[in-house]
Amino acid sequence: MKILTIVGARPQFIKASVVSAEILKHKGIQEIIVHTGQHFDDKMSEVFFNQLNIPRPKYTLNINQLSHGAMTGRMMEEIEKIIIAEQPDFVMVYGDTNSTLAGALAAKKLDAKVVHIEAGLRSFNMKMPEEINRILTDRISDILFCPTDTAVNNLKNEGYDQFNCQIEKNGDVMYDACLFFKEFAIKPDIILPETFALATIHRAENTDDIDNLSNIFASFLKISETIPIVIPLHPRTIQLIEKYQINITSPNLFVLPPVSYLEMLYLLDSCKFVLTDSGGLQKEAYFLKKLCLTLRNETEWVELIAQKANIIVGNSEASILNAFNEIDNLFLEANFEKELYGSGDASGRIIDSLEKLVLKEKLMVNPV
């Protein structure tokens, strides 16, 4: 079996690390990794290959800093060449980035089987580029590996039972990664406050809207008067803050450059609670039993809302501060005990399923 894996952004490196480790246990499987280059900063990309022992990419495309259309088109063009050259049994894509959609489209147009890991997620917000990417990728995928019951139900509600595809609930590979790598967490090379909140902000709906970005940081400044906030920021977000002349100056606001996954695990495990617009960090907060205030108006991870471990607070200063003022009560109501994302064996279940599928197809061609 030959698997062509498409990665390009931070969450995909984390997910691929545990799936690639599982592939290495199976001698009959060859994995070829394509890195699109969507994240090109060392802290966002290269460090993952160094720290997580992901096999080095055979192909690195260096496609970044373009518009959505230009980026997706360039990636499709280059991935198509690779698929023709490599002739994989499966093209494996992760999540909801431009790299995901480009890989899936290129594969489908060449009649290669598409495997979508983290299928079935929905925010029901079509203004999010990620929502468009995940819906289109799901629709053209042959095998959809869903992390939760909610994801499976989303696909069934959209009629996927009637499509020529295979839907499987396998659990969340991010949970596999968190369980494995938390023992190797690395303290960032800074002096951290003894007690702090951890914040991240990167989604376009927040960073590209001056009002939303201003409101979020205004709330951060006020919250930091009570508890320090540690906030790793992507260079692009820093540029927008400078462009909009947003005040982020406070002795209790610790602004860091992007941190590695192992450093983020350390910060997450050490913090008191989380403020974020990241989908992945919402789950990781749950894995490590940290209350999460989500700086969006919706989330794909609705099961976290039901557990009251995740609170949707939006991006207005008033709503964020109102939630923070109730933080003690929110801690008491949060439930982190339910096993929502599998048992930490999602990667193994994925590879086992692909092996069974290949065996089944071989038996159909050459019956005993």
Among residues 39, 68, 116, 202, the one annotated as catalytic is 202
Q: Is 202 a residue of the active site?
A: yes
DSSP 341-352: S-SS-HHHHHHH
On the question of pLDDT at 112 being above 90, the answer is: yes
Same domain, residue pair 271 and 156:
no
Better-predicted residue by pLDDT, 297 or 65: 297
Q: Is residue 178 part of a domain?
A: no
Q: CA 119 to CA 150: how far, in whole Å? A: 11
Same domain, residue pair 93 and 166:
yes
- Over residues 138-154, the pLDDT tens digits come to 999 999 999 999 999 99
Same domain, residue pair 154 and 270:
no
Mean pLDDT of the chain: 93
Whole domain around residue 65: which residue ranges? 2-172+342-365
Q: Which residue in the block uniquely carries the two structure tokens 């079935």?
A: 120
On the question of pLDDT at 360 being above 50, the answer is: yes
What pTM value is reported for the model? Answer: 0.90
Same domain, residue pair 64 and 103:
yes
Same domain, residue pair 154 and 6:
yes
Q: CA 271 to CA 155: how far, in whole Å? A: 35
Same domain, residue pair 30 and 76:
yes
Same domain, residue pair 133 and 204:
no
The CATH number that applies at residue 76 is: 3.40.50.2000
Q: Is residue 177 part of a domain?
A: no
Same domain, residue pair 46 and 134:
yes
Neighbours of 71 (CB within 10 A): 22
- Over residues 14-60, the pLDDT tens digits come to 899 999 999 999 989 999 999 998 866 555 456 556 666 677 899 99
Q: Is residue 88 part of a domain?
A: yes
- Over residues 151-160, the pLDDT tens digits come to 999 999 999 9
Q: Is residue 130 part of a domain?
A: yes
Is the separation of the CB atoms in 88 and 4 below 8 Å? yes
* Sheet with 291-294, edge to edge strand ranges: 253-256, 229-232, 197-200, 273-276, 291-294, 310-312
- Over residues 216-263, the pLDDT tens digits come to 999 999 999 999 999 999 888 999 999 999 999 999 999 999 898 899
Burial class of 364 by CB neighbour count within 10 A (0 to 12, 13 to 18, 19+)? exposed
List all residues 6 or more positions away from 12 whose beta carbon is below 8 Å from its beta carbon: 6, 94, 95, 97, 99, 100
- What pLDDT band is residue 173 in, cutting at 50, 70 and 90? very high
